[in-house]
Chains A and B, each alone.
Chain A
Amino acid sequence: MQQENYPESYRLPRPSTVVLAIPADREQVVLVRSVAGHIAARLGMSVAELADLRLAVDEACGLFLLAPGFGTAGETVECRFEHDASSLTVLVSAAAPASLQPDVDDIGWLMLSALVDELTWKSEQGVARLTMVKHLSGQGG
Chain B
Amino acid sequence: MRGRWPGGVAARRYGDGWGSASYYRPHGEAGLAEPAEPEPEYEYFGLGHEGKTHMDRFDVSVGDSGQDRYVVTVRGELDLATADRLWTELEPLLEPKAVVVLDGTGITFLDSSGLRVLLQAGNRASAGGAAFRLVAPQPAVQRVLELAGTGSHLQTRETVPAALDG
Interface residues, chain A, with chain B CB atoms under 8 Å away: 1-3, 10, 26-27, 29-30, 33-35, 37-38, 40-41, 44-52, 54-55, 58-59, 61-62, 65-66, 106-108, 110-111, 114-115, 117, 139-140
With A1-B30, A114-B3 as contacts: A139 and B112 at CB distance below 8 Å: no
Q: Are B11 and A41 in contact (CB under 8 A)?
A: yes
Pairwise interchain contact B3-A51, C-beta atoms closer than 8 A:
no
Which residues of chain B are within 8 angstroms of A62 by Cβ–Cβ distance?
A: 80, 111-113
- Chain B residues close to A by CB (< 8 Å): 2-3, 5, 7-13, 18-21, 23-26, 28-30, 35, 43, 57, 77, 79-81, 109, 111-113, 115-116, 139-140, 143-144, 147-149
Q: Is the CB of A111 within 8 A of B8?
A: no
Q: Determine the main DSSP class of A at the interface with B.
A: helix
Q: Is the CB of B115 within 8 A of A47?
A: no
Q: Which residues of B contact A55 (CB under 8 A)?
A: 109, 111, 143-144
**Beta-carbon contact of B109 and A41 below 8 Å:** no
Which of B43, B80, B116, B143 is within 8 Å of A51, CB to CB?
B143
Query: Which of these, A10, A37, A59, contacts B20 with CB under 8 Å?
Result: A37
A1: chain B residues at CB < 8 Å are 30
One of A58, A106, A115, A139 near B80 (C-beta < 8 A): A58
Complex contacts, A54 vs chain B, CB 8 Å: 21, 109
CB distance from A5 to the nearest CB of B (A): 13
Give 6 nearest A-B pairs by CB, closest first.
A46-B8, A114-B3, A34-B19, A48-B5, A26-B81, A108-B112
Chain A positions within 8 Å of B143 at CB level: 48, 51-52, 55
**Given A59-B112, A108-B112, does the pair A139, B10 have CB atoms closer than 8 Å?**
yes
Taking a contact as CB atoms closer than 8 A, the residue among A30, A34, A46 that contacts B5 in the complex is A46
Task: Tell me whether A33 and B147 are in contact (CB under 8 A).
Answer: no
